[in-house]
Structure formats: C-alpha cells, structure tokens
C-alpha cells in the first residue's frame, strides 16, 4: 500500500500523462496517443496499490480511455470508425510490449468495433475474453475483466441488434463472472498468514466488481424464467459451491436473492436453491444466507408473489422446514447458537405468514427441545440460555404482534404445548422473567364497550385453563429446584400478578356463558374453581397469596346461587319446584364446605411451612394465621346472611380455634377480637335458633377479651364486647330502631361488661391511662343510658353514671395537682413572657368544642426542639399527632396516609399533653350531658 504522499505523486503523474494524451488527440495524432496510452496503462501494473488506490487509478485511466473512444467516433475522425480501420487498429494495439496495456487497448478498440454493423461480434467477444486469461494477477485480472464488462454492456443490452443472441450473451457474462470469481477467491491465498484479516478486508472492498456481473445478467434475463432456470442458475450455483470460499458464497447467494425476482427464487427454492445451500461446508454461511432469504421474503408483498410462484403460506413454510430438518440431519455438529439464529428466522417467517397458525410454532419449539436435549443443559453457556430466553419472549418480533399481544400470547399458551415444555427446561430464574413478561402482556388488556369481542381472549374448555395454569406453574411453586435451602417467606410481586391473572381468567370463562342450564353453569364454575385451587395447592406457603382469590370467587358463587334461588322463588306464583330449591340449598352448603376446605388447606400448608423455618425472629406465620382467622369470620358472616346458622357457627368456631392456638402477639389478639366482635354484633341467624349458639360465641369472645395481656386492651376489649349484648339496627336488612322487635339485647350482661372493664381500668397503675379508660367507659355508659327503654333496659342507671363521674373527678383532681407541678409549656421557639404562659393555661378550658378524642394545638418545648400539633388517642390507646394546617383538612409530613404521624423519638407525647387531652375529653362528655338535659329529662338525674 502506497503512502499518501506517494499516492498523490502517482495520481499527479497519471493526470499529467492523461493531459498529454488529450493534446495528442486534439492534434489528431493517434499513434502518439496510443504510445502514451501504453505508458499510462503501465500504472495499473503497480503491485503496491491497495484495492482502494487501484480503483482511484483505474477511474482516471478509464476516463482517459473513454476519450479515445469518443475521438474515434467523432465526425472529424470518422475515417477511423469503419470496419477496415478498426481491424487494423485492433491488430496494431496487440503489438504493445506489455500484456496489460495491450488488453486494455484491445478491449477499447474491440468494443467500438462491435458497434459496426458488419463486425464479427461473436468471434470478437470470444477473442477478447480468451485474451483476458493472459492476466492471472488477481487484482489486475479483476479490474481488466470489469473493464471488459463495462465496455461491452451496451452491446449486450441492445435487443434490437441483428446478431442479438441472449444465450451467447449470458454465456459470455457467466464465463467472465466465473473467471472473476476465481481471481477474487485466489486473493485470500496471497501473502503471509498474518495478513489474513487484511486480505479479507481488501476482498470485501472488491466484491462489488463480482456482483456487477450478476446484475448485468439479471438485466439480460429480465422476466425470462426459462433462461434463469435452465441456463443461469445451475452454472452460477455450481461455481458458488466449487469455489468453497465463505465470503464468496455468502455474497453471491445474497446477490442472487436480491437482484432476481422473488417468484423466480421461490419456484426454484425446493428444487435447486435449498439443495445447493446444503452443499455449503460452513454452517454460519448457511445461517446467514437463509436469514437473507427470509428477510427478502418478508420485505415484499408476499401474498402476490406466492400467487405468481403458485405457492401458499403453508407450502412455503413446509419447504423451508423440510430444509431445516435436512440440515439438522446432515449436520449433527451444527452449533447451538447457529441453530437458534436459524430458528429465530423461522419464527419471524411463521408470525409474518400467519400469526394464528400455531402448528408451525409447535413444530419449531419441538425441534428446539430436541436439540436442547441433545446438547444437554449442563453443556450450554449463559449466552445460549439467553438466546432461548429471547425466543420464548418473542423479543425480536414485538413489532409483529404489537396490535394484540395479549391475544397472541393467550392463543400461544393454549395452542402450543411445546412452548411450555421448552419453558420448563430453562433455569428457574429465566422462567420467572419470561412468565413475568408474558403476564404483563396478558394483564395489559383493557376492555371497553367499543372493543370487539374478537380482541378479548376467552377460556372455552378445561384443557385451555390447564394450559394457562401449566404455564404459570414455576411461579406457583415456592422453592427453587436449584437449591434445597429453606428461605424466609417474602412477598413476591409475581404472586400478585398471578392472582390478577386468575381474576382475568375466571372473568374470561366463555363456557359459563354458553351453558343454557343454570345447574350446568353452577357445576362448571365449581369444577373450574377446583381445578385452579388444586394447581395453587402446589404452591405451599404461596397459597397465602393465591388461595384468597379462590375463596373470594367461592363467595361470589355462593351469592350468585342464592340470588338465583331467590329470583326463582319470587317469579313463581304458587308452583315452586321444591326439588330445585333443595338443589340450590344443597349447592350452597357444598360451596361452603369447599370454602372451608380451602381455608383448612391454607392452614395445613402454613403449618407445614412453619415447621421448616426455624430462623429466629420469623414473624410471617402471625400474618398468615391472622388472614386465616379473618377468612373464617368472613365465611361465618356470609353464612349468617344466608340464614345458615349451623354453618356460620362452625366457621366462628374455627376462627376461635385459630385464635387460641396460633395468635400469640398481643396486638394481633386485640385487633382480632375487635374484628370478631364487630362481625358477631351484626349476625342475626345465630340467636334465632334453639341451640343458643350466639350466646356461646359472645361469651367466649368476652372471656378471651378479659384474658388479654395488657390491662388497657382488656378494658377496651371488654367494654366493646358489651355491644354484643345490645344489637343495633342494620339498615341493609330493613331494620329500624323503633320498629324492629327482634333485637338481641341483655342489659344485665351489658352492665356486667362495663363493670368488669371499670375494675380493670381502676387497677391500672398509670393514673393518666386509668382515667382515660374511665372516661371512655363513661361515654359507653351514656350511650346505653340514651338507648335504654322500657322494652330494652340497659341496666345503666343515672346512679351508676353518677358514681362513675365521682370516681373520675376524684382521679382528675389528683392529676390536676400533678399537672400544676409540671414545668410551664413554651408557646414558640423563643422564650415567652410569663403572661403569655398564663394566657395559654387559661385558654385550655375553651377547647371543649373540638372533635372527639382531640385536644387543642399545643406547643411542647424539649431540650432540642419544639413540637407543635394536636394529639389524639387511638382505639388501642396509642397517641397520634395530627398537624392541623387548616380547619378543613388534616395534613401530616409523615409517610402515613391518614394525615397522622406516630409519636416517637423527639415527637413523643409529653405527660402535659396526655393530661390536657384527658381533661378536654372529659369536658366534652360533661358538656354533652348538660346539653342533653334539654331534650331528655332523664339526664337531670346525672350530676356534673
């Protein structure tokens, strides 16, 4: 390769010589110009030129030779442009001392001679192409033959010529192409082995010279399929195979695919092209050529092209699929990555031809599984697993399925079982990534009223449902197959998506809508729910996230069956089919049993899981059992609403069993009892029976409340349980306070609960907390005093309330003395005057109009900072600070969503604030008693 300076000097010298030739021609000095042309053409013999440099020199010389052609054709030199003169010139230039200048001049004069009418064209062309064999240097020979092609192209395209012979013309160009290809291939064997990459680069730069010959052939053949099939394709493919050069084979196949009509290639695909493709030695070359072929097919109007080739989509895919099977059979050493790359092309073709034809996809994935097993999982690298993962995700084909990806993936899962089989062979981590991505597609569907039904997927059979569940099985199961380590239960976002998928699948069960009979519909729904439940059972502790979905749908089905029963009875005048009603009742009881079975399985699986986990500080089981507890209570409530008292009692009993055996945390126990009491208080069927089940349950609930660990929890829980003996109206049941006479009320037991809670409150050592609980009990007493009537006596009398008030006032007096001994409270960040402090203390009593359980804004100064805000007491006795930014909204700077922040660290509530809160609470209760005297004379007996 010449340096830049040497190349510049060479080009300047060539330009100078070209200028001399131009002057000779202008002076009509032909012989001198021919001598100078011989000197000029010797520059093409320079061995130091790189392909790019040689091409630059060639272009300048080509332009100079074109000037000679123009000179011979011009009118002032027309005596040269005749047969005799050109023959003489043609023979004259052959006396040139060097073969390369001689052949360039021969071709120049010979190509002009071809334009003469009586010229022996065929003999002349044969002579020129034979003479070109004298140059065997690869680069010189390539450019010489390329020059021959350029100079003779007008002759070959002149179809109106008298001696026009398409077969000879094709033969001439094919011969020239074959010789050029041989020279091109020989370039790789020149020089030392260390320059192999350099020679490959140089050959790549020269490939356009070879392709130009095939382009010329395509122009001659045009739409003549017979010439293409009988004359061109066999010879060219034979040369491609025989050259045994990777670059040449790949490039020439690409040229054939791109420049000839697609229907030509399709017609010869099975008979000629693919069989010859199998003869190539390098599998990577086969892969690239196949990819180029499929890309070419995908970039045309395939439907019309297939019609011209007398093919259809299925036939085309079958032809290509047969080729792949032959390739796998004849090349058992086919690298896995090469195989996967070929498969990706077939996937692209299949989806483009017909995205609804999953038979093709089944064949593809089946072949991948076979190849996967042949290589063995242990022999595959991460890159190879990644390539399979991309196939399963259809990562490179999202643009082809972007319109309805959820519908495509749904049909894929229910129609292509081999897809799931291949998925299960992948590492668990990859399985979860793939499942997560496809779940996102399935869950992305949103149905509007305008959306067509065809755009929404539906479950039409049991097998389709099981196909979906088989797909998500890797995330249903809890433990990885790659390790035996027992890990602490943690929330997996995939479980949330799994639950959403089940909601979507159940909503899409089209078979329900097809069933005309209500009985068949109910039985089908039960069957489907049980199938899903049995699959979820494999998840072990993951059932904590998935079983509630099934239980929820059992509840919906229970309500549906009950609604159907009630509508049937309401629509019948006198002829009610008792058998059908009994059938509905039987199904309802069966559904409750199935729901109970689900809860029992969840309990059993959770217990088994907790036995496996022995790590210290493990808290997950408490949450699981709390969920099971609440599920039982919800079932009990539902059974009560349907007047199945025995079933309701059984669920309540199971809830008590869970509470007694599994709920050990004091906070959880307190919250569970409150939740249980709220539900029991709304039941109705339990206390209408003869077994007095309601009495047993509420006594048991109150007993557990009295045994809580913390006395303040005991107190609150017991006085809240007093409502279990004082039922109130439920508007959804049509009950009214003054109209309904079936309320379960026992004033004596109410008073016993209040007395019990008062004893517990009085025994608490913390005087502030004790008084707080007493005031809360006082508010409950006033509630029962208000609602006490001659029919329903709450046994809470004015005398009892007066005694409680006297006890509270005694304790408050003691607290007031303690409050007066506390340090003054600052009102701002800076120190204030004593007058301001006195005003703040004097204004405390004016806050009685504030909301229940809240005190006025206070400012508490600590050693490090000042805390401002309102303080409220929660149901469980905890103190919360509420920042009152305006009168209509509660806003907090904390992360809580309820506008509050817990008092921890420097925000802890002070004793001053606790006492203030208590006094304000008591003042509000007293104010209510005073105001109530105006509307209820009974309150005059209460002394405030």
Reported as a single tens digit per residue, the pLDDT across 240-298 is 999 988 999 999 999 999 999 999 999 999 889 999 999 998 999 999 999 999 999 88
Which pLDDT band holds residue 83 (cuts at 50, 70, 90)? low
For 2, 4, 40, 100, 797, the CA distances from 46, given in Å and listed in that order, are: 10, 15, 12, 11, 125
Which pLDDT band holds residue 71 (cuts at 50, 70, 90)? confident
Q: What is the mean pLDDT of residues 303-311?
A: 85
Instruction: DSSP for 407-419, please give it.
Output: HHHHHHHHH-HHH
Which residue, among 701, 711, 621, 693, has the nearest Cα to 660 in the 3D structure? Answer: 701
Largest CA distance in the chain: 148
Which pLDDT band holds residue 878 (cuts at 50, 70, 90)? confident
**What angle (nearest 5°) sits at the alpha carbon of residue 763, between those of residues 761 and 766?**
80
866-873 β-sheet, strand order? 858-861, 866-873, 879-882, 900-902
Worst-scoring range by mean pLDDT, 78-92, 174-188, 422-436, 719-733?
78-92
Mean pLDDT of the residues in the chain: 83
d(CA 184, CA 202): 10
Beta strands of 286-405 (E only): which ranges? none
Q: Are 647 and 639 in contact (CB under 8 A)?
A: yes
d(CA 944, CA 931): 11
pLDDT digits (tens, 9 = 90+) for 141-167: 999 999 999 998 888 776 555 556 788
Q: What is the mean pLDDT of residues 556-561?
A: 94
**SS3 at position 881:** strand
Q: Are 872 and 880 in contact (CB under 8 A)?
A: yes
Q: Are 519 and 561 in contact (CB under 8 A)?
A: no
d(CA 586, CA 423): 43
pLDDT given at position 792? 73
**Count of C-beta atoms within a 10 Å radius of residue 306:** 20
Which pLDDT band holds residue 453 (cuts at 50, 70, 90)? very low
Which residue, among 364, 432, 441, has the nearest Cα to 409 in the 3D structure? Answer: 441
User: Which pTM does this prediction carry?
Assistant: 0.76
At residue 346, φ and ψ (nearest 5 deg) are -65, -35
pLDDT given at position 377? 84
* Better pLDDT: 117 or 883: 117
Q: Are 682 and 726 in contact (CB under 8 A)?
A: no
The yes-or-no verdict on residue 75 having pLDDT over 50 is: no
**SS3 at position 22:** helix
- DSSP state letter for 726: B
Which pLDDT band holds residue 884 (cuts at 50, 70, 90)? very low
Which pLDDT band holds residue 303 (cuts at 50, 70, 90)? confident
**What angle (nearest 5°) sits at the alpha carbon of residue 16, between those of residues 10 and 17?**
90
The yes-or-no verdict on residue 835 having pLDDT over 50 is: no
The yes-or-no verdict on residue 21 having pLDDT over 50 is: yes
* Better pLDDT: 733 or 805: 805
* Better pLDDT: 399 or 26: 26
Worst-scoring range by mean pLDDT, 686-700, 800-814, 886-900?
886-900
pLDDT digits (tens, 9 = 90+) for 454-490: 446 778 888 888 999 999 998 888 654 444 344 444 5
Reading the block at residue 853, the tokens are 């359980």
pLDDT digits (tens, 9 = 90+) for 618-655: 455 778 899 999 999 999 999 999 999 999 999 999 99
Q: What is the mean pLDDT of residues 68-81?
A: 68
Handedness of CA 316, 319, 323, 328 (dihedral sign): positive
Please enumerate, as own/partner, the contacts of 513-519 that have beta carbons within 8 Å and a separation of 24 or more: 518/564, 519/583
Token look-up 């002349």 returns 124
Instruction: Give the domain ranges of the chain.
Output: 1-124, 335-445
Q: Are 774 and 808 in contact (CB under 8 A)?
A: yes
Helix axis angle for 666-681 and 645-662, nearest 10°, is: 170
pLDDT given at position 689? 64
pLDDT given at position 906? 40
Q: List 509's β-bridge partners, or say none.
A: 459
pLDDT given at position 830? 32
- DSSP state letter for 875: T
Q: What is the mean pLDDT of residues 392-421?
A: 85
pLDDT given at position 161? 56
pLDDT given at position 435? 92
Above pLDDT 70, what percent of the chain? 84
The yes-or-no verdict on residue 503 having pLDDT over 90 is: no
Reading the block at residue 530, the tokens are 């049980």
The yes-or-no verdict on residue 837 having pLDDT over 60 is: no
Reading the block at residue 247, the tokens are 């670059």
166 Cβ contact list (under 8 Å, min separation 6): 220, 224, 227
The yes-or-no verdict on residue 413 having pLDDT over 60 is: yes
């Amino acid at each position: 390769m010449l340096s830049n300076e040497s190349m510049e000097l060479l080009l300047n010298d060539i330009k100078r010589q070209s200028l001399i030739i131009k002057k000779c021609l202008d002076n009509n000095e032909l012989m001198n110009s021919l001598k100078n042309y011989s000197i000029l053409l010797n520059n093409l013999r320079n061995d130091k030129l790189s392909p790019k440099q040689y091409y630059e020199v060639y272009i300048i010389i080509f332009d100079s030779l074109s000037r000679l052609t123009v000179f011979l054709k011009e009118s002032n030199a027309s005596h040269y442009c005749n047969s005799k003169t050109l023959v003489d010139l043609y023979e004259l230039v052959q006396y040139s001392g060097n073969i390369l200048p001689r052949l360039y001049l021969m071709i120049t004069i010979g190509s002009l001679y071809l334009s003469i009418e009586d010229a022996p064209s065929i003999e002349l062309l044969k002579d020129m192409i034979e003479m070109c064999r004298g140059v065997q240097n690869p680069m010189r020979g390539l450019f010489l033959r390329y020059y021959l092609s350029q100079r003779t192209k007008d002759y070959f395209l002149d179809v109106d010529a008298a001696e026009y012979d398409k077969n000879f013309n094709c033969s001439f160009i094919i011969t020239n192409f074959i010789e050029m290809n041989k020279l091109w291939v020989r370039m790789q064997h020149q020089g030392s082995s260390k320059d192999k990459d350099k020679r490959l680069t140089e050959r790549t730069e020269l490939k356009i010279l070879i392709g130009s010959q095939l382009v010329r052939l395509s122009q001659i053949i045009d739409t003549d399929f017979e010439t293409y099939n009988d004359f061109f394709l066999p010879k060219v493919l034979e040369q491609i195979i025989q050259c045994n050069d990777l670059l040449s084979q790949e490039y020439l196949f690409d040229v054939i695919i791109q420049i000839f009509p697609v229907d030509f290639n399709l017609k010869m695909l099975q008979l000629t092209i693919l069989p010859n493709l199998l003869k190539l030695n390098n599998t990577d070359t086969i892969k690239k050529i196949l990819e180029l072929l499929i890309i070419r097919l995908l970039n045309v109007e395939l439907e019309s092209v297939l019609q011209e080739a007398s093919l259809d989509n299925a036939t085309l895919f079958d032809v290509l699929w047969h080729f792949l099977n032959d390739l796998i059979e004849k090349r058992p050493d086919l690298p896995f990555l090469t195989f996967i790359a070929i498969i990706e092309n077939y996937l692209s073709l299949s989806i483009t031809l017909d995205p609804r034809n999953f038979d093709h996809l089944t064949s593809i994935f089946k072949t991948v599984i076979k190849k996967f097993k042949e290589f063995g999982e242990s022999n595959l690298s991460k890159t190879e697993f990644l390539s399979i993962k991309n196939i399963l995700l259809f990562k490179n084909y999202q643009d082809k399925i972007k319109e309805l990806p959820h519908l495509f993936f749904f049909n894929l899962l229910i129609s292509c079982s081999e897809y799931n089989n291949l998925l299960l062979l992948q590492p668990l981590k990859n399985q979860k990534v793939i499942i997560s991505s496809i779940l996102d597609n399935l869950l992305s569907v949103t149905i509007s009223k305008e959306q067509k039904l065809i755009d929404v997927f539906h479950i039409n059979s049991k097998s389709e449902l099981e196909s979906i569940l088989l797909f998500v099985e890797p995330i249903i199961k809890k433990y990885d197959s790659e390790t035996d380590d027992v890990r602490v239960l943690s929330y997996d976002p995939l479980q949330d998506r799994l639950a959403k998928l089940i909601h979507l699948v159940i909503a899409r069960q089209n078979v329900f809508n097809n069933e005309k009979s209500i009985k068949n519909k109910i039985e089908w729904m039960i069957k489907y729910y049980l199938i899903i439940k049995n699959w979820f059972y494999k998840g072990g502790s993951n059932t904590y996230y998935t079983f509630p979905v099934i239980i929820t749908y059992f509840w919906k089905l229970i309500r549906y069956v009950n609604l159907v029963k009630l509508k049937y009875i309401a629509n019948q005048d006198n002829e009610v089919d008792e058998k059908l009603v009994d059938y509905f009742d039987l199904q309802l009881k069966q559904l409750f049993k199935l729901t109970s079975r689900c809860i029992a399985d969840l309990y059993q699986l959770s217990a088994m899981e907790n036995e496996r986990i022995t790590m210290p500080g493990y808290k997950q089981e408490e949450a699981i059992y709390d969920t099971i507890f609440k599920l039982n209570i919800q079932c009990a409530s539902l059974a009560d609403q349907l007047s199945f008292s025995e079933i309701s009692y059984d669920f309540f009993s199971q809830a008590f069993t869970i509470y007694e055996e599994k709920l050990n945390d004091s906070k959880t126990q307190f919250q569970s009892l409150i939740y249980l009491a709220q539900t029991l208080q709304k039941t109705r069927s339990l206390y209408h029976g003869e077994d007095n089940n309601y009495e047993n349950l509420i006594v048991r609930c109150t007993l557990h409340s009295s045994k809580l660990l913390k006395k303040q929890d005991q107190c609150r829980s017991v006085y809240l349980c007093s409502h279990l003996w004082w039922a109130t109206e439920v508007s959804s049941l049509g009950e009214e306070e003054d109209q309904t006479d079936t309320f379960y009320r026992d004033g004596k037991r109410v008073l016993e609960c209040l007395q019990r809670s008062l004893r517990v409150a009085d025994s608490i050592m913390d005087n502030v907390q004790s008084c707080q609980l007493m005031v809360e009990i006082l508010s409950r007493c006033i509630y029962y005093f208000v609602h006490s009537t001659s029919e329903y006596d709450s046994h809470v009398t004015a005398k009892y309330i007066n005694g409680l008030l006297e006890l509270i006032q005694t304790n408050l007096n003691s607290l007031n003395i303690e409050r007066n001994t506390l340090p003054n409270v600052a009102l701002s960040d800076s120190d204030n005057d004593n007058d301001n402090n006195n005003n703040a203390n004097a204004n405390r009593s004016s806050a009685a109009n504030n909301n229940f359980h809240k005190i006025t804004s206070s400012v508490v100064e600590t050693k490090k900072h000042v805390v401002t805000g309102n303080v409220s007491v929660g149901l469980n006795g905890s103190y919360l600070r509420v920042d009152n930014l305006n009168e209509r909204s509660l806003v907090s700077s904390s992360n809580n969503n309820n506008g509050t922040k817990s008092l921890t660290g420097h925000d802890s509530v002070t004793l001053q604030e606790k006492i203030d809160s208590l006094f304000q609470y008591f003042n509000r209760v007293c104010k209510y008693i005073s105001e109530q005297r105006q509307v209820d004379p009974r309150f005059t007996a209460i002394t405030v």
